[in-house]
């Protein structure tokens, strides 16, 4: 296993004197950040969803700055790029475990090990603690895909099914998205701004009142609806190409929560499943069987993973397993996906460590946050 060690030359911060270990394992490229004052403790980190076609090395670009508050506390950080892009939660779990074992071979057994991640990568602490929890002391999922992954992706599918019925022609049809031979592609970040502007203009011209109500039905502010649609197109197309078909069946789905439910159910785009969803979603599916302290941090509003999917679903699963004593939530007043300050991340990390040491759950609201939303 070939590795490259670099010593950063900057001297203005403590972090600037850390050692970086770069290399490649079966699970893809990785980086390990070793602080000069390493406290013999390790944080395994999992990155979020990476759009298909983006440079692989960009998955953990800027990791040093993103997790500087962790490094400043003397913790080593190890992160995998994963072997594939797009939906890669199972692969991310395997790659993270492979990297953890490689770290031990190189650096020795840490005194303690913690798991954290953002967005899709925020689901990996749950999957890791459910399956490899004996190797960890605690976890910090941030703005996480903590629901069963099938449910999160099904929400995105249902958004497309209903918007294509109410606002046909504005976004690609599900029929085309799940036709692997169609010309539907991925919307790049470079063209996202223009595409979101086109979607917003078309929705407002068609029926602005209905468009606002539609956004609310999916826990969105209207201004965030075009971005969610652009993002979901990429996710659904990624799923279609990975499975070479459609794992979702909404032929008998009853849609509710709209101003006119009868109309929505009459016009919604409907497709039968052509692939078994278990092929993509079964491995490391969520169980709620955690036995180490977990602090989940989430914003009170998130346009990609709303509270109902980031918090409520996993909270209910953990409760059903009788493991509430291991789970705590901290909300911040952020108004976008993963919109945390460094101070909030540091405070949540410290709260998780205190939870591990004392067994006492931290308070639900961050000191710098507004009122937390009510539990559902």
CATH number for 331? 3.40.50.1820
Tokens of 178: 């799940």
Q: Are residues 12 and 136 in the same domain?
A: yes
Is 214 contained in some domain?
yes
Q: Are residues 112 and 190 in the same domain?
A: no
pLDDT tens by residue, 124-154: 999 999 999 999 999 999 999 999 999 999 9
Q: Are residues 185 and 197 in the same domain?
A: yes
Mean pLDDT score, 164-177:
98
The whole-number pLDDT of residue 78 equals 98
pLDDT at residue 348 tops 70: yes
Q: Are residues 208 and 301 in the same domain?
A: no
| Boundary of a domain, candidates 252, 280, 308 | 280
Is 369 contained in some domain?
no
Angle (CA) 203 186 221, round 5°: 35
Is 16 contained in some domain?
yes
220-237 in b/e burial notation, b at 16+ Cβ within 10 A?
bebebbbbbbbbbbbbbb
What is the side-by-side order of every strand in the sheet holding 294-299? 3-7, 19-25, 28-34, 76-80, 41-46, 112-118, 138-142, 294-299, 327-332
Confidence of residue 4 (pLDDT cuts 50, 70, 90): very low
The whole-number pLDDT of residue 53 equals 82
pLDDT at residue 215 tops 70: yes
The whole-number pLDDT of residue 183 equals 95
pLDDT at residue 350 tops 70: yes
Q: Are residues 103 and 132 in the same domain?
A: yes
Is 365 contained in some domain?
no
How large is the greatest C-alpha to C-alpha distance in the chain, in angstroms?
65
134-148 in b/e burial notation, b at 16+ Cβ within 10 A?
ebbbbbbbbbbbbbb
Q: Are residues 227 and 158 in the same domain?
A: yes
Is 165 contained in some domain?
yes
Predicted TM-score (pTM) above 0.95: no
Pick the more confident residue, 247 or 369: 247
Domain of 107 in residue numbering reads as 3-146+290-358
How many domains does the chain contain in total? Answer: 2
Q: Are residues 234 and 194 in the same domain?
A: yes
State what percent of residues in the chain have pLDDT above 70.
92
The whole-number pLDDT of residue 8 equals 30
| Boundary of a domain, candidates 280, 314, 342 | 280
Report CA torsion sign: 84, 43, 99, 286.
negative
Confidence of residue 364 (pLDDT cuts 50, 70, 90): confident
The whole-number pLDDT of residue 366 equals 53
Confidence of residue 58 (pLDDT cuts 50, 70, 90): confident
pLDDT at residue 369 tops 50: no
Residue among 248, 144, 228 nearest 187 (CA): 228
| Boundary of a domain, candidates 221, 246, 280 | 280
Residue among 281, 286, 280, 310 nearest 298 (CA): 310
pLDDT at residue 284 tops 80: yes
Confidence of residue 13 (pLDDT cuts 50, 70, 90): very low
Mean pLDDT score, 358-372:
67
Q: Are residues 108 and 162 in the same domain?
A: no
Mean pLDDT score, 331-357:
97
3-state secondary structure of 5: strand
Is 204 contained in some domain?
yes
Mean pLDDT score, 324-348:
96
The whole-number pLDDT of residue 376 equals 29
Q: Are residues 47 and 113 in the same domain?
A: yes
Angle (CA) 353 357 359, round 5°: 105
Is 242 contained in some domain?
yes
Tokens of 154: 């099904």
Cβ–Cβ under 8 Å, residues 108 and 74: no
Distance in angstroms between the alpha carbons of the first and the last residue of the chain: 48
pLDDT at residue 17 tops 80: no
Q: Are residues 103 and 87 in the same domain?
A: yes
Is 101 contained in some domain?
yes
Confidence of residue 37 (pLDDT cuts 50, 70, 90): very high
Pick the more confident residue, 332 or 57: 332
Q: Are residues 273 and 169 in the same domain?
A: yes
Confidence of residue 321 (pLDDT cuts 50, 70, 90): very high
Mean pLDDT score, 98-114:
97
**221 Cβ neighbours under 8 A, 6+ residues apart:** 215, 301, 303
The DSSP output letter for 56 is G
Q: Are residues 236 and 312 in the same domain?
A: no
The whole-number pLDDT of residue 365 equals 64
**235 phi and psi angles, rounded to 5 deg:** -65, -45
Averaged confidence pLDDT in the chain: 91
């Amino acid at each position: 296993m070939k590795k490259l060690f670099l010593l950063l030359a900057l001297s203005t911060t403590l972090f600037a004197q850390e050692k970086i270990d770069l290399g490649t394992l079966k699970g893809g490229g990785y980086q390990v950040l070793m602080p000069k004052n390493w406290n013999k403790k390790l944080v395994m980190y999992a990155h979020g969803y990476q759009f298909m076609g983006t440079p692989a090395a960009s998955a953990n670009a800027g990791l040093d700055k993103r997790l500087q508050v962790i490094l400043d506390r003397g913790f080593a950080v190890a992160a995998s790029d994963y072997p594939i892009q797009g939906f890669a939660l199972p692969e991310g779990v395997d790659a993270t475990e492979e990297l953890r074992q490689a770290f031990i071979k190189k650096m020795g057994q840490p005194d303690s090990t913690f798991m954290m991640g953002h967005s899709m990568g925020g689901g990996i602490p749950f999957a890791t603690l459910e399956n490899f929890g004996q190797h960890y002391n605690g976890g910090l999922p941030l703005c996480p895909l903590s629901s069963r992954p099938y449910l999160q992706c099904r929400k995105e599918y249902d958004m497309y099914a209903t918007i294509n019925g109410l606002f046909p022609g504005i976004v690609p049809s599900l029929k085309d998205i799940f036709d692997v031979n169609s010309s539907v592609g991925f919307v790049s970040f470079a063209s996202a701004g223009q595409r979101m502007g086109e979607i917003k203009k078309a929705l407002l011209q068609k029926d602005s009142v209905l468009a606002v109500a539609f956004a609310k039905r999916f826990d969105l502010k209207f201004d965030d609806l075009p971005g969610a649609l652009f993002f979901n197109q990429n996710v659904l197309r990624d799923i279609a190409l990975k499975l070479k078909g459609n794992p979702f069946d909404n032929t008998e789905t009853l849609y509710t929560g709209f101003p006119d439910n009868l109309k929505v159910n009459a016009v919604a785009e409907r497709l039968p499943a052509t692939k078994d969803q278990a092929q993509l979603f079964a491995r490391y599916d969520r169980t709620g069987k955690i036995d180490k302290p977990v602090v989940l941090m989430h914003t009170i509003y998130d346009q990609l993973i709303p509270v109902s999917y980031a918090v409520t679903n996993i909270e209910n699963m953990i409760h059903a397993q009788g493991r509430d004593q291991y789970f705590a939530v901290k909300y911040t007043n952020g108004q976008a996906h993963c919109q945390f300050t460094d101070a909030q991340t540091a405070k949540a990390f410290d709260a998780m460590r205190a939870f591990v040491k004392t067994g006492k759950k931290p308070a639900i609201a961050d000191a710098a946050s507004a009122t937390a939303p009510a539990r559902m």
